[in-house]
Amino acid sequence: MMTSMMALIDELWYLKRDLVSDGYDTALNRLAQEVPMTIHEYPTGTPCWTWKVPEKWTCDEAYLETLAGERIIDVKNHPLHVVSYSLPFEGVVKREELLPHLHTHQRLPDAIPFVYKYYDRDWGLCLPQTLKNTINDEAYKVVIRTRFENGSLKVGEVVVPGESDRCFILAAHLCHPAMVNDDLSGCVVGLDVARALLQGPKPFYTYRLLILPETIGSVAYLSHHEELIPKMNGGLFLEMLGADIPHILQHSFMVESQVDKCFAAVLADSDPPIVRKPYREVIGNDERQFNAPGVRVPMLSLSRCIHPSTAPNYPFYEYHSSLDTPALVSQERLEASRDLVLKMLDAWEKNRYVVNEFKGEIFCSGQNIWIDPTVNRAGHDSLFKIMERCDGTRTTADIAVELQIPFQAVWEIISLLLDRQLVRLSPKPVPPALTRY
């Protein structure tokens, strides 16, 4: 029995899913029950290109008390009360010393912020600004009992095998403790997409869903699968797919790539329109590792995110805070996002070079594809403009972008031509041999 996306969120969201941690492992193992998943493990200290896998981190106890013993903050009350990867600390500290270690949210005075110190380490606690305003005693007692131990960073990989070993990557991160829209929503949408693909007919491309801790997870996986990189044609990062905000697509670094063109053309008929922005101009996540030098896999990013990046509530109101709870998210929106991803992948499956098996214009009446211009001028014109671009040098996405027609509309014509064996599809361009002088 499949568990719904929303049910998975309810079950897993509150776990303390830090980069390398028991909470992360629990969540990943639970997701692995829903779909065949390989879990790659990278032990603490493993070199990953310029990076190293960090220690496993555990917080046994963390609280702030008045000297009179009144507990002001306790991680037992909320996992975000301690800085992720906080150093251990115990002692009585003066107010002035304490304050820089108490983190609040920039915008939300009543929320506990999500703060992490993975590499630039320090000890610290997190609390609402309103609570911090009451920190007026001369000194407080701090107890932070955290452990840094050898462990294993884990990357979950779900493979949907295709006819070709060239593969498309779906990626989402799972390492944001006790939050939902960012990042659990992306994981469950990815999972549901994988479930749908596994249930459908065998695709042409192989699809790989990666669920991982942000950044270091991608670097760990890529550096240990270098042989796969040349086979990765494209990718899509998934995040923030539950909030009540319209979708937005962030392009890859290689904006002229086939994936970029294909997804742009697929979204062209969206209602309401889906905004597209250049690389790095919506939000940065694991797609950065895939687009980076030495990898250069064109990975786009789909989210529901307020734009432009200067908007006061960017990327969404409850971002990186204790307010990012299941209440933000709806099964309906998650399904809409899943269906959009499936629509994008469906187009990607089809998007190969369209090679003409015909010469000259096609005898449309004879092929029963004639559109009478006196009845439907736009349809007639599109038919001919599409046909005349089926020449082995353009994919369906190329034609769609060139003519500013949605992918589906172009594909309708291409599939008529395919049915009649007037064109064939090729994964590589098949340009005419001709040079004229």
> Which residues sit at the interface with a second copy, rule CB under 8 A?
49-52, 119-120, 166, 215, 218-219, 222-223, 226, 230, 232-233, 253, 280, 288-289, 291-296, 356, 358-363, 365-367, 370, 381, 384-385, 387-392, 422, 427-428, 432, 434, 436-437
* Omega cis (within 30) before 315: yes
| Shortest Cβ 119–a second copy spacing (Å) | 4
Instruction: Tell me which DSSP letter residue 149 carries.
Output: E
Q: Nearer to a second copy by C-beta: 326 or 379?
A: 379
β-partners of residue 168 are 207, 234
| Shortest Cβ 244–a second copy spacing (Å) | 27
| Shortest Cβ 49–a second copy spacing (Å) | 5
| Shortest Cβ 294–a second copy spacing (Å) | 3
Cβ pair 355, 394 in contact under 8 A: no
| Shortest Cβ 255–a second copy spacing (Å) | 13
Q: Nearer to a second copy by C-beta: 195 or 288?
A: 288
Q: Nearer to a second copy by C-beta: 85 or 316?
A: 85
* Omega cis (within 30) before 429: no
Q: From 164, 382, 173, 345, select the one nearest 259 (Cα to Cα).
A: 345
Distance separating alpha carbons of residues 322 and 126, to the nearest angstrom: 10
Q: Nearer to a second copy by C-beta: 84 or 233?
A: 233
| Shortest Cβ 53–a second copy spacing (Å) | 11
Cβ pair 127, 71 in contact under 8 A: no
Q: Nearer to a second copy by C-beta: 201 or 360?
A: 360
How many C-alpha atoms does 364 have within 13 Å on its Cβ side? Answer: 13
Q: Nearer to a second copy by C-beta: 54 or 128?
A: 54
Phi, psi angles (nearest 5°) of residue 371: -115, 120
Residue 207: helix, strand or coil by DSSP? strand
Q: Nearer to a second copy by C-beta: 294 or 312?
A: 294
Distance separating alpha carbons of residues 190 and 210, to the nearest angstrom: 9
| Shortest Cβ 323–a second copy spacing (Å) | 20
Helix spans in 82-160 (H): 95-98, 129-132
Distance separating alpha carbons of residues 345 and 335, to the nearest angstrom: 15
Q: From 235, 211, 219, 237, select the one nearest 158 (Cα to Cα).
A: 211
| Shortest Cβ 192–a second copy spacing (Å) | 27
Q: Nearer to a second copy by C-beta: 284 or 326?
A: 284
And the tokens for 281? 């101009």
Q: Nearer to a second copy by C-beta: 196 or 292?
A: 292
Q: Using CB atoms within 10 A of its CB, is residue 74 exposed (0-12), middle (13-18) or buried (19+)?
A: middle
| Shortest Cβ 93–a second copy spacing (Å) | 24
Instruction: Tell me which DSSP letter residue 276 carries.
Output: E
CA triplet 424, 393, 166: central angle to 5 degrees? Answer: 70
Distance separating alpha carbons of residues 46 and 252, to the nearest angstrom: 29
